[in-house]
A and B are shown apart, each in its own frame.
Chain A
Amino acid sequence: MKKVGNQSYMLENPVNIAATASIVGPKEKGGPLHQFFDQCLEDEFWGEKSWESAESKIVKETVNMAISKSGIAARDFDFCFAGDLLNQCIASSFGLRETNIPFIGLFGACSTFVESMLVASSFIDGGFATNCVCAASSHFCSAEKQFRFPLELGNQRPQSSQWTVTGSGSAILTKDGTGPFITSFTPGKIVDMGIKDANNMGAAMAGAAEDTLIRHFKDTGRNPSYYDAIFTGDLGHIGKDILIDLASSKGYNIKSNYNDCGVLIFDKDKQDTHSGGSGCGCIATVFSGYIYKMLQEKQYKKVLLMATGALMNSTSSQQGESIPGIAHAISIEL
C-alpha cells in the first residue's frame, strides 16, 4: 500500500470483492431498485419481537448469505468489520454473535459500509488477513425510535428529511480473485459546515463529501471523467444538488456521471420519501445489490464509491450542536 498525496492510498495488491448480499425491507421493495436485491422482506418485524432484533436478524442473514455466495468456509475468515446506527452498534454485534469470526465493530454513522471496506482492504493488502466480511445495516423503525419520534406520532416530516433505509448489505473481500477490485481509497476528514438542522442531513454532509472527493482527485491526479460512475451514500436530493454545486465551484464537473444511493433507492414522488433514502443500509444495499451487479455485468468499469455520515446523536442535536460530516471514498475497478 502506497500513500499518494495528502490522504489517499493506492493498493499494491488490489483487493477482490468476491461476493455481496443484500436484504431490504418492504418500502425498498416498492422502490426502483427492487429487482437487484437478494431478498425483500414483507414486514419490518420479520417475525421478531422488536425492531432492534429484526435489524440484527437482517444483518445475520445478509452476512450468512454473502458468506455462502462466496463459497468460502466461515472458519477461513480472518475478520468481520461491521457497524450500524443503533446505540453501541447492537444490531451488528447481536446479529453476528454466532458467526465465530473475529469481529471488529465500526462506527462511521452512515459511512460505515465504506469505512469497513476501507479498513478490510488495508488489512488484506498489508498481509494481515486473507478473507474479510464487511457489513452495515439500518432499520427505519429502530432509527426513528432512537433519533426522532415514535412511529405512531401524528407529525409531518419536513421536505428536507430523509427516509432511513431498512436493510443490510454485506461484501466479502478476499486477497485473490477475479474482481471487481478495490484499487485505492481516500479516508475522509471530519468537516463541520455548521448545519444544526437534524432534518437536513444532506446539507450537513455535503461539505465532507466535497472535501473527500476533491482530495481524492488531487491526490490521485484523476479527474471526474476517470470514473464511469461516482456514487455517494445518502446525501439525498438536496445534498446531491449541493455537492454538484460545491464541486463545480472548485472546478470539478461531476454532473454527468454522479449519482446518490439515497436518490436511487426510492421513487421520491411515488413513495413520498422527501429528500430520499439515508442510513448505513442505504449505500450498503445499493452497492451490494445494484452497483456490484453493474460491475459484474461490466456496465461500469471504474466506480468511485463514497459513503457519507452525519456524526451526531439525539443528545448532541438537543444540545444545539452543529452536525459534523464525514465521507470515505474507495475506487473499485475491474
Chain B
Amino acid sequence: MDWYMILKAFIVGGALCIIAQILIDKTKLTPARILVAYVTIGAILGGLGWYKHLVDFAGCGATVPLTGFGNLLAKGAVSEVQSSGLVGAFTGGIKAASGGIAAAIFFGYIASLISKPKIKKQ
C-alpha cells in the first residue's frame, strides 16, 4: 500500500474542503451553490487538461471531491469526442460519471424504502 499517496490524498482532499468551508462561513453562498461551483470549476479545469495533474499528484484527494466529479464529466466528454465526434460531447460526460450517479440514485431509492427521516437530536 502506497502510504505516501494516501497522505497526499488526505491533505489535498482536506484542503479542497477547507476552501469550501471558508466560502460557506464567509460568504452567503448556500451549500447547493458551492456544490455547483465546485463541479463547474472541476469541469472547466478538466477540459483545460489541468485537473489531471492534481489527480496524478493526489489520487482520490482530487477525484473524490466534487471538482473531481466535474473533471470526470469533462474528461469523458473530451475522450468520447475523440472517438465518436460531436455525439461524444453529449454521451461522454455522463458515461464516464455514470457509476457514481447511478449508485446515488439507486441507493437513494433503497434508503427511502427502508428508512424514515428523524429529527436531529442535537
Contact = CB atoms under 8 A, between A and B. Distances in A.
B119 A141 contact: yes
A44 B119 contact: yes
A155 B31 contact: yes
A315 interface: no
B24 interface: yes
Chief secondary structure at chain A's binding surface: loop
B117 A141 contact: yes
Interface string B102-121: 00000000000000011110
Contacts of A197: 28
A197 B30 CA distance: 11
B117 A152 contact: yes
B122 A151 contact: no
B117 A151 contact: yes
Contact of A151 (B24, B28, B31, B119): B119
Nearest to A271: B122
B33 to A, nearest CB: 12
B65 to A, nearest CB: 15
B119 A140 contact: yes
Interface of A: 26-27, 44, 140-141, 150-152, 155-156, 197, 272
Interface of B: 24, 28, 31, 117-120, 122
17 contacts: A26-B119, A27-B119, A44-B119, A140-B119, A141-B117, A141-B119, A150-B117, A151-B117, A151-B118, A151-B119, A151-B120, A152-B117, A152-B118, A155-B31, A156-B24, A197-B28, A272-B122
